[in-house]
Amino acid sequence: TDRYAVFGHPVAHSKSPFIHHAFAEQTGQDLRYEAIDPGAEGFAAAARRFFAEGGKGANVTLPFKEQALKLADEALPRAREAGAANTLIARGGRILADNTDGVGLVRDVTQHHGVPLAGAEVLLLGAGGAARGVLGPLLRERPQRLVLANRTPARAEALAEAFAALAAETGVRLEVHTWETLRLPFTVVINATSASLAGELPPLPPELFAARPFVYDMMYGAAPTPFLREAARHGARTADGLGMLVEQAAESFFLWRGVRPDAQAVYERLRAALT
């Protein structure tokens, strides 16, 4: 039985063991997947031990994603550009780092929700790790323009700078705006801030939702986040990040096992069980 794990702090409420066991059952793969909390300071030692003892792969969640990138012997391009890894892979005695968060978001939006990103006018709110983790895959979908807006503008500027070459390569207009200078309309609005965690709402222009964009919050929960409630109140179509969670897991599973699980079936079970 091959061993996998998710590392996080805290990690007790992680849905990853449920998701990967469900994928394994679907695809007839023989594996065990556990949740490991190595404490605030213990990630590198715990992850090294896990792989030394034969672990085949791991997911990494907050607050260890940057450390996971540093720990790996080799970073794949998606992890390098994200500056963080959510997936570690044992290969020939080495540890490879990848990042499946961005493809997870893109698949959820384009396939599950059926919203095209190619040619779209996208507003990405936030400039922390969550935003950086998805920016590369978003740009590769070739939206017409992608606007970054953040409470602290300097962080958004730095992020745009880091992705300027990719934006040029993909022909996407990558812009930074403050809440005050946003030029409407957008067809897709993605909240990558952690404001929802605190039950807060980023300060948004009220007209943002007037053109009925597709509004996505990377957070999820039993009840809609304040951001999604505000969007829905204005008649926008909304979605939370549960589908992204399942899709990033499906991509990790594919990297480890070489088979694609049925993400939709697992998504439905998770949604039904969400409290």
Which residue, 111 or 178, has its beta carbon nearer to ligand ATR? 178
Task: Out of 57, 126, 241, 261, point to the residue binding ligand ATR (CB under 6 A).
Answer: 126
126 is in an annotated binding site: yes
Can 70 be counted among the known catalytic residues?
no
202 binds ligand ATR (CB under 6 A): yes
CA dist., res. 79 & res. 77, Å (int)? 5
Under rule CB under 6 A, which residues in 222-261 are in contact with ligand ATR?
A: none
252 is in an annotated binding site: no
Q: Considering the candidates 22, 47, 59, 65, report the single residue annotated as catalytic.
A: 65
CA dist., res. 196 & res. 254, Å (int)? 30
150 binds ligand ATR (CB under 6 A): yes
77 is in an annotated binding site: no
Under DSSP, the state recorded for 240 is -
The number of angstroms, rounded, from the C-alpha of 247 to the middle of its chain's C-alpha atoms is: 9
150 is in an annotated binding site: yes
Task: Out of 80, 113, 155, 271, point to the residue binding ligand ATR (CB under 6 A).
Answer: 155
| DSSP for 5-48, written as a single string | EEE-SS-TT-SHHHHHHHHHHHHT--EEEEEE---TT-HHHHHH
Cα dihedral 101→243→227→35 (10° resolution): -60
Of 52-60, 68-76, 191-199, 234-242: span binding ligand ATR (CB under 6 A) = 191-199
Which residue, 75 or 127, has its beta carbon nearer to ligand ATR? 127
Structure tokens, 265: 């079936």
17 binds ligand ATR (CB under 6 A): no
Taking Cα atoms as reference points, which of 16, 106, 11 lies closest to residue 57?
Answer: 16
The residues that are catalytic are 65
What residue ranges bind ligand ATR (CB under 6 A)? 126-131, 150-152, 155, 193-195, 198, 200, 202
